[in-house]
Structure 1
């Protein structure tokens, strides 16, 4: 019954796509090309496993990323440095079982080593109270609203200060210890590089 959070594997992308597109109105649909761009570019792209089955995923980007979301752009216009949760999806049969909380604990641990704030949004047009309560219980607060021009959906823009970041930055700067839980995700481009002469 334990939840395992780990980096996504390329062969799981079709399952991730199905999870996303079956999630309902609170998540924007994806196509295979955009999901592969996430796989190639996202600093954080992890899945949750429960009882050996895929239970959800979370995708996130640092503020310096090349990411084309209008909500990401909204944050970037207003904040110099943050980590952005683009989307989190939990399989319907796993909702309420702690998968979302496990993801948020994991993504915060990842982000607070690198960024002073954690950003995300909640769509307000589709029964947002459970999602707003969930985020509020993690210390997020609304910093504005954005009407997403590409889909006409209004979003509550949420931000959370990461109180450990100043200490991490002062103590380690850009030289974090080489520990499994502190490592940055190896991006797809780096995985496909081959040593010279092979």
Structure 2
């Protein structure tokens, strides 16, 4: 079986909303208006498909975006340039099958050409060990904690250095090559499970 990663389509927003709000307490709920704002403003909004059905999605923003999130603001107050994973959701029946790893591999391949660091958070109130282990296996490290005042939730704030970025920046500056695989929209297909570097360590 394979996992396909592609940009979300507007008519799929109802399915995305249902998937988000069925994910449990580790993911903040959304309403349709909030999801529409994310759709209109997100730099990265992609879904994972397996067997022709939506299996997950990931939404991300560059550090200079206008984004309504106290966790995003926490990072922006401390770091000048990063790519922020706002949320990643995998359908419950697909967890443990490589969907989350496929989404993270894709968002990293997108971000490392454009940003020096990748940022995200893990809520600590709801059995976070598996999520922290998952992110640690990708090379994320905790750089602090933040309590979201609007939800009274404590989050571990995680960052990962993207090792390819300095070379890309020095070589291409602000103008990436005009190659189809660098442009959006695009679709990739990965055989599952997806293999990634266990540590993501820079040489």
The alignment's TM-score, normalised by the length of structure 2, stands at: 0.90
Q: Using the alignment, how far apart are the partners of 1:67 and 1:27 within structure 2? A: 17
1:65-101 per-position Cα deviation (integer Å, ceiling 9, x unaligned): 0101000000000000000000000000000000000
Secondary structure of 2:67's counterpart equals coil
What is the aligned partner in structure 1 of residue 126 from structure 2?
126
Q: Using the alignment, how far apart are the partners of 1:180 and 1:106 within structure 2? A: 15
1:163-198 per-position Cα deviation (integer Å, ceiling 9, x unaligned): 000000011111111223322569xxxxxxxxxxxx
Count of paired positions: 186
Q: Using the alignment, how far apart are the partners of 2:181 and 2:22 within structure 1? A: 30
What is the aligned partner in structure 2 of residue 60 from structure 1?
60
What is the aligned partner in structure 2 of residue 163 from structure 1?
163
Q: Using the alignment, how far apart are the partners of 1:30 and 1:182 within structure 2? A: 30
Secondary structure of 2:40's counterpart equals helix
Secondary structure of 1:159's counterpart equals strand
1:10-48 per-position Cα deviation (integer Å, ceiling 9, x unaligned): 000000000000000000000101111111110100000
* 5+ long unaligned stretches in structure 1: 187-198
Q: Using the alignment, how far apart are the partners of 1:180 and 1:27 within structure 2? A: 33
Q: Using the alignment, how far apart are the partners of 1:91 and 1:111 within structure 2? A: 24
Equivalent residues of 2:123, 2:154 under 8 A apart:
yes
Are 2:180 and 1:174 equivalent residues in the alignment?
no
Are 2:6 and 1:6 equivalent residues in the alignment?
yes
TM alignment of 1:1-198, pairs within 5 A: 1-184=1-184
Equivalent residues of 2:6, 2:185 under 8 A apart:
no
Secondary structure of 1:134's counterpart equals helix
CA separation of 1:54 and 1:30: change in aligned 2, threshold 3 A: same
What stretches of structure 1 move > 3 A for 4+ residues in a row?
A: none
The alignment's TM-score, normalised by the length of structure 1, stands at: 0.92
> Aligned-pair RMSD on alpha carbons?
1.1
What is the aligned partner in structure 1 of residue 189 from structure 2?
none
* 5+ long unaligned stretches in structure 2: 187-203
Q: Using the alignment, how far apart are the partners of 1:184 and 1:79 within structure 2? A: 26
